Structure 1
Amino acid sequence: MSGIGDHGPSLARPALRQPRLQAVIFDVDGTLADTERDGHRPAFNEAFLRHGLDVAWDAEEYGRLLQITGGRRRVATYLGERGYGPEAEDLAVRVHQTKTALFRERVVTGGFTTRPGVPELVADLRRAGIRIAVATTGRRAWAEPLVTQLLGPDVVEVLVTGEMVPRLKPDPAAYRLVLQELGLRADEALAVEDSAIGLRSVTAAGLATIVVTNDYTAGQDFAGAAAVRAGFDGPEPLSAQRCRAVHDSWWTRREEGMGPAPT
């Protein structure tokens, strides 16, 4: 029975659950380090030479080919376009194996450095208790030593590489596997990517994304990203606090204006 002043069930909207940022998931190539133009590309060209192929990708051509994820697929597509026919796939496998070995040699000799601002961001995330993971389409043979070289040992909690998932980016499989390994929901993590392909992968997995562009990706369409930056450093460097703010703002907007967020 209703009492005085009891007007029945409240129709007020329930308070929104505010997800808490618990992990940041980084892409590798072009994000943590500028490895594409002066790292992967020369390794591919040397591999072509060793297999007797008259192929040399310049920086512009390689930029076009970056729209194809996965090195083996990139080579197979290129050779198929050049009329190599049915043998293109088998030849691509051999070229890619050679390229992987060449690139790994450069990695283990300390051939790469992080993009400016990455070490400071990673240190700040660790101080804030935010876990760190990596999702890449690259092979573990070189990705694991490269990530260790760039970020240090025992920094990355989960590393998912291309051979661990059935489909490469822009498919969300890599990010879904990282979340599974971390034991987190999509709204508890934030991704840092450098390309539209990477953004599509993250978005399909249901995460917020900060895009940090590079020379190859600066002109791409990043609609749907939580934030887009030209670098990690600068007058307002990317920090743990900024990551939290971007993450929280993106989820608040999504829940208020776009309906339930995916999990």
Structure 2
Amino acid sequence: MLKALIFDVDGTLAETEPVHRTAFNAAFAQAGLTWSWDEALYGDLLQVTGGRERLLHYLAQHRRPEEAARLAPRVPEIYAAKTRAYVSLLASDRLAPRPGVLRLIAEARAAGLRLAIATTSHPDNVAALLDRLVPEGGFDVVAAGDAVAEKKPAPAVYALALDRLGVAAGEAVAFEDSQNGIRSARGAGLSVVATPSRALPHDDLAEAQAVVSDLGEPEAPHRLIAGEPWPGGHVSLPALRDWHARQAAACPAVGMA
């Protein structure tokens, strides 16, 4: 029986990565650094999950060793400034939820399903986005940031979300937009619906059981990329329940974690 839905945040609830990139660049300027991450570079850096980890990777791979050694101790300061910049930018950015997200959340809430977030993003970032997109609340669990030591693609953050929800992996579905996120959810035993984001157009999402352009709306059907067609071209809660049951029947070992 389907009891819970677990959502990734960035790229899944909304196309937030351009805002994150702008916030990083603002933090660099505030720190007196001449770095500027363009869209192509940031797309590569997104393969590293976690903003602090992304900064450390950038220092190690894109800056000279002496500069990296000098600036590594400033990473917490720079990352904190980036988080503040992101929260501030959200207040003025015309950010919209991805198609179908709020509809499905409302359907799940009305049906009594539990809802969770599983993300490597900083808790302040998550809170600011949820306040913007879902001001009435509704998420029972938020597993974010450094709540776990091992970031995606490790399954730890999804395992934590399941534990806090009090449901088994076989009783939940995860929603993701990246290969790392899908591997994290699948590693925790979850079935996954993937909706590719603009920030990661070339990510391989084949490990998800369903891939659609977005969750769709009755008046604006999504594009099917992989997996079964969804009735009416949108992921509704009744269709999701049926799909989830078929996943369990096809692979009963999945979800036993």
Q: TM-score range with shorter-chain normalisation?
A: 0.7 to 0.9
User: Which amino acid is the alignment partner of residue 256 of structure 2?
Assistant: P
- Does residue 235 of structure 2 align to residue 262 of structure 1? no
Verify the 8 A CA contact 1:168 1:174 in the aligned structure 2. yes
Higher radius of gyration, 1 or 2? 1
Structure 1 residue 87, shift from structure 2 partner: 2.7
Structure 1 residue 125, shift from structure 2 partner: 1.5
Point out the more displaced range, 51-60 or 86-95. 86-95
Residue equivalent to 1:22: 3
Residue equivalent to 1:223: 206
Residue equivalent to 1:253: 250
Structure 1 residue 49, shift from structure 2 partner: 1.0
Residue equivalent to 2:155: 172
User: Which amino acid is the alignment partner of residue 52 of structure 1?
Assistant: G
Structure 1 residue 164, shift from structure 2 partner: 1.2
Residue equivalent to 1:214: 197
Residue equivalent to 2:123: 140
Partners in 1 of 2:148 and 2:28 — Cα distance? 27
Residue equivalent to 1:54: 34
- Does residue 153 of structure 2 align to residue 203 of structure 1? no
Structure 1 residue 109, shift from structure 2 partner: 4.8
User: Which amino acid is the alignment partner of residue 177 of structure 2?
Assistant: D
Q: What root-mean-square deviation, in Å, do the aligned CA atoms of Structure 1 and Structure 2 show?
A: 1.6
User: Which amino acid is the alignment partner of residue 53 of structure 2?
Assistant: R
Partners in 2 of 1:208 and 1:61 — Cα distance? 31
User: Which amino acid is the alignment partner of residue 64 of structure 1?
Assistant: D
Verify the 8 A CA contact 1:73 1:92 in the aligned structure 2. no
Partners in 2 of 1:228 and 1:243 — Cα distance? 13
Question: What is the number of equivalent residue pairs in this alignment?
Answer: 240
Unpaired segments ≥5 residues, structure 1: 1-19
Residue equivalent to 1:41: 21
**What is the TM-score normalised by the length of structure 2?**
0.88
**89, 101, 124: which one pairs with 1:106?**
89
- Does residue 19 of structure 2 align to residue 66 of structure 1? no
Structure 1 residue 111, shift from structure 2 partner: 4.9
User: Which amino acid is the alignment partner of residue 47 of structure 1?
Assistant: A
Verify the 8 A CA contact 2:175 2:195 in the aligned structure 1. yes
Question: Percentage identity across aligned positions?
Answer: 37
Give CA-to-partner distance per residue, 1:236-257, whole Å, 9 cap, x none.
11111222122212211112xx
Unpaired segments ≥5 residues, structure 2: 222-232
Structure 1 residue 172, shift from structure 2 partner: 1.0
Partners in 2 of 1:231 and 1:260 — Cα distance? 24
Verify the 8 A CA contact 2:118 2:143 in the aligned structure 1. yes
Residue 238 to residue 138, structure 1, CA distance change in 2 (3 Å): same
Structure 1 residue 121, shift from structure 2 partner: 1.4
Residue equivalent to 1:13: none
Give CA-to-partner distance per residue, 1:144-200, whole Å, 9 cap, x none.
131132123331110111121111111111111111111111100100000001001
User: Which amino acid is the alignment partner of residue 36 of structure 2?
Assistant: A
Point out the more displaced range, 120-129 or 57-66. 120-129
Verify the 8 A CA contact 1:144 1:159 in the aligned structure 2. no
